[in-house]
Amino acid sequence: MPTDGTGVIQLDPWLEPFAPAIKARYSAYKQARDNIEKWEGSLAKFSEGYKTMGLQVDDNGGVRYREWAPNAVEARLIGDFNQWSHTANPMTKNTFGVWECYVPPASPGVCAIPHDSMVKISMTIPSGAKIDRIPTWITRVTQDLNISPIYDGRFWNPPQDQKYRFKHPRPDVPPEGLKIYEAHVGISSPNMRVTTYKEFETDVLPRIKKLGYNCIQMMAIMEHAYYASFGYQVTNFFAASSRYGTPEELKSLIDRAHELGLTVLLDVVHSHACKNVADGINEFDGTDHLYFHEGGRGRHELWDSRLFNYGHHEVQRFLLSNLRYYMDTYMFDGFRFDGVTSMMYKHHGIGTGFSGGYHEYFGDSVDLEAMVYLMLANAMLHEVYPSVISIAEDVSGMPTLCRPVPEGGVGFDYRLSMAIPDMWIKLLKEVPDDQWEMGNIVHTLTNRRHLEKSVAYAESHDQALVGDKTLAFWLMDKEMYSSFMPLAVRHTSTSKGMSLAIQSTFSCTDEAHCRWMDFPREGNGNSFAHARRQFNLVDDHLLRYKYLWEFDAVMNNLESAYKWLSAPQGYVSLKHEVDKVIVFERAGLLFIFNFHPTQSFTDYRVGVDTPGEYKVILTTDEGRFRGHDRIDVKGRYFTTPMEWNGRKNWLQVYTPSRTALVLGL
């Protein structure tokens, strides 16, 4: 393989005209890595900054505090432990702008700073003004609304008997065929309040396991002052959100997930940061350019947030160590990187459409420093943790995003196929189902870069936020309220929803009510009505939601048995625009979809390559899913050795309107 980063061109010759840009990107990565290894020893050691920065307790109970704040001319550690004295614990500054102080133990082995007590750093800036800040590496912050909406930094150092000890190792290898349950702890129960880590561990994890998922993506874990931001306005990067409980309770949750065989990913936000000053990292040392770019380049005009200076050595230390911290301290198994499109381009994707032309990905609009940071992050993660999973949220289609760094790629394992949820919601909102184009559906579902893996969602949580509706509500509408009793007349919308499910993992989203999502905020009277997961609907046997739940479980567990998600790409043999039928083969199975709103077909001939006697593996029309039981699940289908639709054999099936049928040998 070439050593200049052009290995990716061997997989995609169309990249050849952009070889100079690819070489320059890889060269910048190598230069940044060489610089790190020269001054820090290794990339792995560099990413362990969380072990030396912030508040560190030694074996004797002493506390050493280190903080990067080059603009400050004086600094001191203050808190409950010294009655907020500005003279008791002064700090000294080294030539790199790092301040340091040591708080000796109160007595041998006894820490002078009480566990869970409040701390801050107070600094004097060149103007003579004094500013107080929460330490940037703080691992716990809390809010007391009876006093102030501003968060307080806390020294988290529980006694040995209160520290959580992990009992179960993380998986040795990534799961085959990721089936991701996207979860927000705070809105994961029917309760009209914020749900806790312990409640999620006890009540939700068993449901996820039973449903057949093998991976959880945890959202809104990094602390964020504004709950309604969905966790995307991070204020304290090393602090797990205290809304849901303590750090030890989050560790217990992840350990229990590992015991159940579930992989746990963190939705990590390194694309921007909250602009809060009092309880964030913005203007930490009195300047606007410590962790961020100064001026307009350091601000996101749509998100109203700050943008990192990815090319700075200390910013790289902070962000890379942030990844290591969550992997080592909480035993996460990987990350879904939020806002990667915004990171990779100087225009952040604002007002920009991507046609797929390669010139859009290798020009002056690319933020080379951000690309280098992403390459460093993925290289570090995959070298230190061989089983790690990294997923990029990118809507631009950046080539090489999911190829290894040594080849010249950016190093992610998966990218999100964001066009798929956009397609489903657009079809449901704008196009009558008798006008759906089968070719467009197939193209959207299969349009991905060769040898770059992707994760497909049926719907994005963004689409279910207030102002729009979930797929479930688009399908059912008012029937959700009047026709979900088992004795009510069956409506085709339910069958339609389940037929979509086999390809698109349709179900009521985890994020909230089955209608739409809306976090408590001033505009809705701080209501939790639409910020909760209504498992009570599934558990109520007088309602039909249990049938959708059952289908989700059966579909996921069947995938675990047949592994079609990790199988080689399928072969689509039919996209019939008049009949509204799609047929494809994958993992030795034959999938037959009838999207027609009114027409069922008897003795419908479909092609299949492998001859034999086929049986029903799954049909969305089964009674256990509240279907009409129009297909005999014990039926047998025999192939005829005659070419049909480009396949060597054919067989005939009965395919009812708005159903899906899966056959196998």
**Residue pointed to by tokens 């969550």:** 326
**Residue pointed to by tokens 């047949």:** 562
* 154 closest CA partner among 177, 135, 172: 135
DSSP 405: G
**Residue pointed to by tokens 């059912």:** 476
User: Which residues, 6 or more positions from 310, have their beta carbon under 8 angstroms from its beta carbon?
Assistant: 316, 319, 343, 367, 369, 370, 372, 373
- The length of the chain in residues reads 665
CA distance 197 to 247: 9
CA distance 513 to 517: 6
Q: Considering Cα of 459, then 462, then 463, then 468, what sign does the dihedral take? A: positive
CA distance 394 to 340: 5
* 291 closest CA partner among 249, 366, 237: 237
Instruction: Report the SS3 class of residue 199.
Output: helix
Contact assessment for residue 455 and residue 409, using Cβ atoms and an 8 Å cutoff: no
Going from the C-alpha of 598 to that of each of 78, 200, 434, 578, 602, the distances in angstroms are 72, 42, 9, 12, 13
Phi, psi angles (nearest 5°) of residue 97? 85, 15
Contact assessment for residue 348 and residue 396, using Cβ atoms and an 8 Å cutoff: no
**Both structure tokens of 389:** 């999973």
Terminal Cα-to-Cα distance of the chain (whole angstroms): 41
Contact assessment for residue 111 and residue 58, using Cβ atoms and an 8 Å cutoff: no
CA distance 256 to 205: 8
What are the residue numbers of the active site? 338, 393
CA distance 515 to 524: 16
CA distance 518 to 512: 8
- Beta strand 215-219 with 180-184 is parallel
Contact assessment for residue 119 and residue 80, using Cβ atoms and an 8 Å cutoff: yes
